Amino acid sequence: MQATSLRFCAVAGDATDPLTARAHNEPRHSYRGPFQRDRDRIIHARAFRRLAGKTQVFTHRYSDHFRNRLTHTIEVTQIARTVAAALELNEDLAETLALAHDIGHPPFGHAGEQALDRQLRARGMRFDHNLHALRIVEHFEQRYVEFRGLNLTLAVREGIVKHSHDYAPADHPELREYFLDRLPPLEAQSIDLADEIAYLTADIDDGIEADILSLDDLCCGVPLFADFYRQVEGKHPEAAGKLLFHEALKGMLNALVNDLIVTTHTNVTGAGIGDLEGVRRASRRLVQLSPAMEQRRREAKEYLFRRLYHAEDLDQSHAMAEETISGLFEHWMKHPEQLPETQQSQLEAEGAPRVVADYIAGMTDNFIADQWRLARR
């Protein structure tokens, strides 16, 4: 793959860039740029540390070797920086957004998020992990004397909100400062597919390790992986099967990332876009896979939904997530006096459903399991 450059479409991030503005004015740091400071604030945040105790796909009852939300986040960050570097985008912004992209997720992975959303839906509300992440960095994290939250730059807050989802201005007037009528910068757009690539390949890896997926079935169900496996097997017929598997998975990951870089460059230059404003006003998101590779990605994702995410082996974990989150939610709705003082102090302003949801969303798997045991006594 030839080196490509979209540096004129990148977020500048310098002293004159309005996207480096913060809600509360702070003096510039002597040797760190604005997005480097944001990155460091996220890394030191409690919400970021808690990702180590939150399920990605497999809970700790399987093995400590499998990915959790934190290790997944690190893998997404590696891909995001690679893409940004290859396209000469703002690497610091891409890295920061990747590090922050999952801090709004509740415990127990997607099963936990679905359970929490069902509880709020029953009360006329929704749980959106992107908007919850914004609440975390603007409100819940308290580390500074002069302001509440992390006081992140506008570019990072916009990317947290919009990296994977577009919000209608009429539906979310509270988000008006985040340019809802325009697309996010390329650095933010790249996070969604970096996330997809990271979890597709990682979940195949963990699924094989857990003996839920088989190599033969994987080759039948994921043509992109099968192509690389056949190549590696033909080149190294005597190699151990596990090494062949990892080589093929590496090839799959590289192919997805390479295609993302080339296709994005083609989309931007083909549309005659030469600056950030052009990216924002484009008719569609420009960070994409080619049609052929998008088809391969869909095949892999559909396979994982059939064979892994809804596998019988994971049903116990999903049922536990539903019971724990739904049970605790309903318990605290009936007994809000049993909430910690911090949460009780927010009940009048926020309402019990939102307070309970926020409290649960911040928990690790182990902590919420302990709380559920206490509530059932």
Where do the domains of the chain lie, and which CATH numbers do they carry? Answer: 7-20+31-176+191-375 (1.10.3210.10)
Q: At which residue do the structure tokens 């499998």 appear?
A: 66
- Amino acid residing at 128: D
**Contact of 249 with 201, CB cutoff 8 Å:** yes
Q: What is the reported pLDDT for 55?
A: 87
Q: What is the reported pLDDT for 61?
A: 60
Closest CA to 160 of 126, 193, 183, 137: 137
Q: Which residues, at least 6 apart from 335, have a Cβ–Cβ distance to it below 8 Å?
A: none
Distance CA 322, CA 294 (A): 32
Closest CA to 175 of 141, 140, 128: 128
Tokens of 79: 């891909």
Distance CA 120, CA 127 (A): 7
Neighbours of 176 (CB within 10 A): 10
Tokens of 248: 């093929």
**Contact of 293 with 259, CB cutoff 8 Å:** yes
Distance CA 273, CA 121 (A): 41
How many residues can be counted in the chain? 377
HSE at residue 357, side-chain half, CA atoms within 13 A, is 27
Q: At which residue do the structure tokens 């990747």 appear?
A: 98
Q: Which residues of the chain have pLDDT under 70?
A: 1-3, 60-64
- Amino acid residing at 107: P
**Contact of 116 with 357, CB cutoff 8 Å:** yes
* 3-state secondary structure (DSSP) of residue 52: helix
First CA to last CA across the chain, in angstroms? 61
DSSP-derived secondary structure letter, 213? S
165-171 contacts, C-beta under 8 A, 24 or more apart: 165/128, 165/130
| Cα maximum dimension of the chain | 68
HSE at residue 286, side-chain half, CA atoms within 13 A, is 33
Distance CA 225, CA 218 (A): 8
Distance CA 154, CA 25 (A): 12
Tokens of 376: 């059932």
